[in-house]
Amino acid sequence: MQFPPSAVFLALCACCIGLSFTSVSLASADSLIPSVGTLIDSLFGEPRFIPKSAFGPPFDKGVIVYIRATKTTTFLTSIVIGIVINSILMYPKFNNVGPAAFLVSALTLTQVVTATPFSPPRQKNIGTSDDSAAAASSSQAASNQERRDAVKQAFQISWDGYYKYAFPHDSLRPVTNSYEDDRNGWGASAIDAFSTAIVMRNWPVINQILAYVPQIDFTRTSSEISLFETTIRYLGGLLSAYDLLTTPPLYADAKAAAPDVHLNSTSSQTATDAILAQAIRLADALSVAFDTPSGIPDNNLIFDPVTGPKRTGSQTNGIATIGTLVLEWTRLSDITGNSTYAQLAQRAEAFLLNPQPSAIAEPFPGLLGTNVNITSGLFVDSTGGWGGGTDSFYEYLIKMYLYDPDRFALYRDRWILAADSSIQYVASHPTTRPDLTFLGGWKGPRGNTTLRFSSGHLDCFDGGNFILGGLTLSNKKYLDFGLELVKSCAETYSATATGIGPELFSWQDNRTPLNATNNRGPPSAEQKAFYEKNGFWITNEQYVLRPEVIESMYYAWRATKDEKYREWAWAAFKAINATTRAGSGYSSVANVNKVGGGSKTDFQESFWFAEVLKYCWLIFQDEDDPWQVKADQTNEFVYNTECHPIRLAKGHEIQPSSSSSPSSDWGYGSADEKKNNEQQPRGRPGVWKHGDDGSWSDRREKRFAGPRYA
């Protein structure tokens, strides 16, 4: 082939464009043959397709751009090869374009390559795709900064809609631009958004919430109160904000970025004082729930404006609503030095740590029934699982041990029992997709227990919990099992028309006789076809802005640093962002297996702020902020079940002392220690709290002066 003088000029242009830290080779997208593509790929790295709308001729049919970071010698070689390839493949198009026009388009292309991300289509069967390909695809996708920007934009849209149309009520109805007080009218979305705004360092929103917190009257509401929901959302949100805003790195940022917050003020009411004061007022009002013969709380309360807070008189309570109080109430005691809060929650928890009668309460070692009699403390059924009503009891067992291994060794032992039994007895593989692993449920007393092969979005937190257990206990078995659960729950997303997982699903177990009474097949032909391909069929098509699948992807990423988990989370976020965006915010949808999600149900849950958006932000955050989950046992925070970061009792992760053992006094400390607390009511000895010097060293010796408490 002969080249006219214009080709030489064009080659020189290619050299000029290529003089960067990245070697770029251009080839016409509609003329590149597979063999040449393979050659270029081996030389230059991963391809990115840039659409024709981004630049003019001769690239107006689109181009494939090969990008690979190179050393100097490889870089110079790449330039020469690039000139040859570009000249051969693109000269026919260059002939119709003047040199000046070519140079302008080429320079435009260079800008596009460095500034315009390519988001690949959603990948089917993400859990079973080639891992190396999934990791390598990060070079094709948007940068983590751009992804964080997208998540922050979703947060801002959600907040602006809520603040305009719903604040200070609980939740936004984004389609109708109205509100609903589904959590007692105390501004649930504001408090759930608090810790997310803080980790994002969104100071305008932080200031709006800080100004609102002192105005809440936690003693008045016209609706029935859930002790569980109020604890994880409001009490957890307030304690998390207190812990985060008194963390030295963020404390310094606050003084620089938002001096009007006055976190270090010497006035009588600092911002963090106000947060803690409200947490105390709320806990004091809720404490009536524990006024029962056994100490097991009544989950349902009424705050009567005349007679004050009172119980509704429930006869039973569930293990999740009993067992998901201990982290928040213990933390409040540790901050204030008032042991009452911890004692209330830990006394109730004791009935779950020693469940009776054992044959009914504990069908498998460590795996419990659901409901407990409030008067006697005895279990009344043997039905359980890792889903709604039971889930966060198991979640908090390992998290309490991480919070303080010296006081909560028994919690660790009970989690290990539950984890081992789940792996041995409950783990299930679908007949059509035995590569998947799900945890189902169980029913019936010990020796006569039947398994249930169904699960749901709520259950999918289990992968993250097993991963956390594996990291905390340095046990690869739990880590590997958790990763299997993460992969399987990720498949529930990739299988649907929207790329979002359903609320509930079922399958047939491959170790149980087919069509046994507890192992029936799909009820319809459509569900059967879906099951044959995907290993589960959908029994509830809703998506209500739940976080659990992305939550577990976050733990998988933090444990392994395998980029595929970031890719899965990004695909999930994009699907949720595209499907649930509605009106002034984001709405739950009726059917994840219909394009567009079916109808919008006009409700933006408060945990959308606290969980989905926070996990998405954290997984794409490169900075190793102190609240990130750490794989090397240097954790400083643990997340409550609403994804509010709570500072560890000693301020950092510790190994249990050789003398640590389950406390007979509900884990709060010895009688001598309690006596010492009464004499020095500024916080539990050995518990880290923010001090005037902001020191992180020698927390055991320095007894920082804590804020006032009621």
Among 374, 246, 69, CA closest to 637:
246
Is 641 annotated as a binding-site member? yes
Q: Omega of the bond prior to 120 within 30 degrees of 0, cis?
A: no
146 catalytic? Reply is no
Dist. CA 692–CA 680, nearest whole Å: 18
Q: Terminus-to-terminus CA distance in the chain, angstroms?
A: 89
Dist. CA 392–CA 639, nearest whole Å: 12
Dist. CA 514–CA 310, nearest whole Å: 50
Catalytic residue among 503, 509, 541, 567: 503
Dist. CA 243–CA 251, nearest whole Å: 10
Dist. CA 452–CA 470, nearest whole Å: 26
| Phi, psi for residue 19 in degrees, rounded to 5 | -75, 80
224 catalytic? Reply is no
- 3-class SS at 39? helix
Catalytic residue among 391, 462, 602, 642: 391
The two three-digit tokens of residue 194, written as one number: 């608090």
362 catalytic? Reply is no
Catalytic residue among 229, 395, 459, 653: 229
Dist. CA 351–CA 348, nearest whole Å: 6
Rounded to the nearest 10 degrees, the angle between the axes of helix 236-245 and helix 271-286 is 160
Q: For residue 679, what are the contacts with CB-CB under 8 A and spacing of at least 6? A: none
Dist. CA 451–CA 136, nearest whole Å: 40
The two three-digit tokens of residue 18, written as one number: 């290529």
548 catalytic? Reply is yes
Catalytic residue among 334, 509, 548, 611: 548
Dist. CA 454–CA 493, nearest whole Å: 16
Element housing 384 (H / E): strand 384-385
The two three-digit tokens of residue 353, written as one number: 């740590």
**Helix ranges, 452-512 (H):** 462-473, 476-494
Q: For residue 28, what are the contacts with CB-CB under 8 A and spacing of at least 6? A: 61, 63, 89, 90, 93
Among 323, 316, 293, 312, CA closest to 373:
316
Binding residues: 641
Active site residues: 229, 391, 503, 548
Binding residues for Ca(2+): 641
